[in-house]
Structure 1
Amino acid sequence: MITKDKLTTLEDYLNLNYSITFYPENEGGYTVVIQDLQGCISEGDTLEEAIENILDAKKIWLETAWEYQDIIPLPSTLMKN
């Protein structure tokens, strides 16, 4: 089980697998969200583009949180184990 005391570098956090939720839009494309990272949201015209964009958003979110020494939550899927 992963605990916060085992996560000592930004790379450790970047390698965590956060759940991604896809919302198809009526006009086409997808909105994608990582619920565990408040405000981490993106979109894409295709699923592939949406995945690429949310992974970029995750990286930026985590880098920013790390830089400002904000609390970075663990993926909720890890918390259920």
Structure 2
Amino acid sequence: MAKYAYPAVFTPEKNGFYSIVFPDLEGCYTCGDSIEDGIEHAQDVLALVLFEYEKEKKEIPKPSTLDAIPLADGCFANYIACDTMAYRKRYNNKAVKKTLTLPEWLNEAAMEKGLNFSQVLQEALIQKIDGE
């Protein structure tokens, strides 16, 4: 889980549309109604593809440099950045049941205070992950 930047090739299409492909990543492509729309879609598809690489523990290829990418007339390349952790938080939010063990005194004290165990555990885990 990390932040990435990969080059994307933008190809102008009719009516101001763009086709966008990431030459370093198989099956990583999208399109947009404008450059701004294309960049937004490119960030999303890049995060999705790299999330899948991470999930499947596939080797993530090293990104090419912009000057190493051959371009057809009218095309241009630009780096697109994404954060797969942000993507996970946004789209991979399915609840998962966990069983855990606590000392009885801690359970009783938490129940007396009316604490929500799931919420407290989530907050503690997020703090621990972000603190690394």
More strand as a share of residues: 2
Deviation at residue 26 of structure 1 after TM alignment: 2.7
RMSD: 1.8
Note if 1:16 corresponds to 2:4: yes
| Percent of aligned positions that are identical | 35
- TM-score of the pair, normalised by structure 2: 0.47
Deviation at residue 39 of structure 1 after TM alignment: 1.0
Could you give the per-residue CA deviations for residues 38-70 of structure 1, whole angstroms, max 9, x where no partner exists?
111000101000000011000000000100111
Counterpart in the other structure of 1:41: 29
Structure 2 stretches of 5 or more lacking a match?
A: 69-132
Structure 1 stretches of 5 or more lacking a match?
A: 1-9
Between the aligned partners of 2:40 and 2:46, the Cα distance in structure 1 is 10
Moved over 6 A (4+): none
Between the aligned partners of 1:48 and 1:76, the Cα distance in structure 2 is 23
